[in-house]
Amino acid sequence: MRDTRRWRTRSATPEDVLALLRAKLAHDAALDASVEEDPPLDFETPLSHWEAALDAGFRDFWLGWKPLAAWLQSWLYVEVPPHALDAALRAHRAPTMGHLCEFLAPRLRLPVLEPLRVAGTSCLTAGAFITLRTALLGAGLPVARARPSTPLSFQSWQQLATFQDVVGLLSPRALPRVEIPSTPFRRASLGLFVLALVSTAAGYRLGSMPLFVGGMSALLGVIIAAWLRPGPAPGTARFPGVTTLGDVARLLAASDSTR
């Protein structure tokens, strides 16, 4: 299982590109509170709405849509000519997701998972695992010695984000949404923050200085405690029903988008 062959690819369609963009948005939202959770996203959605959902600045006053080309190249590992993309989107008064998907589709090729022959039999899951490991290695993740039984483990949030991006490019719908457990401290902090906010507002409206000062003091204390207290570690992140790289390979093998 140390094969590092590249995979066969197929031409992408605008529908494929839209699925990739949707998956990217969902994965980013799970890790970044500033990214909108689940906005409607179809071919008619204005690019500006998608840009706002990602909390990104893809359009520059002087450079036009060229920053978007750089972002797409780094994420999709595909050549996106900045001038061509800028010209294509500027040709429309209000560019939409459909315009972007139509531009990207002819330039993008997607992997096709193929079975691997193991002990005289053909196994699609084994082929999916080889492809997955090769893609993760190419993205810089430390999986050179990984086996199907290797548990999912992330040493940094960047590793987790990269893992989600790689699997999303192999199959946008294969990976379930990541779950990051909330600690009791964080839940208590949220409750205290709301209580302190209500006390501050009530003290201000009622003209009660003790209530107002007490609320402000509590607000400040919660903010300082949250700042000093570390958040959950990336190692606590879990994908429901997925614990090993082999599990991910099985999801990829079962996905229609990789066959």
Lowest mean pLDDT among 3-7, 13-17, 35-39, 83-87: 3-7
Exposure string for 157-171, b = 16+ CB within 10 A, e = fewer: eebbbbbbbbbbbbb
Residue 129 pLDDT exceeds 50: yes
Overall average pLDDT of the 16-24 stretch: 95
Residue 63 pLDDT exceeds 90: no
**C-alpha distance across the termini of the chain, in Å:** 21
Instruction: Name which of 133, 173, 101 is nearest 6 in CA terms.
Output: 133
Give the pLDDT confidence of 179-229 residue by residue, as tens digits.
987 655 455 555 666 676 677 777 777 887 887 777 677 767 656 655 555
- The neighbour count for residue 113, using CB atoms within 10 Å, is 24
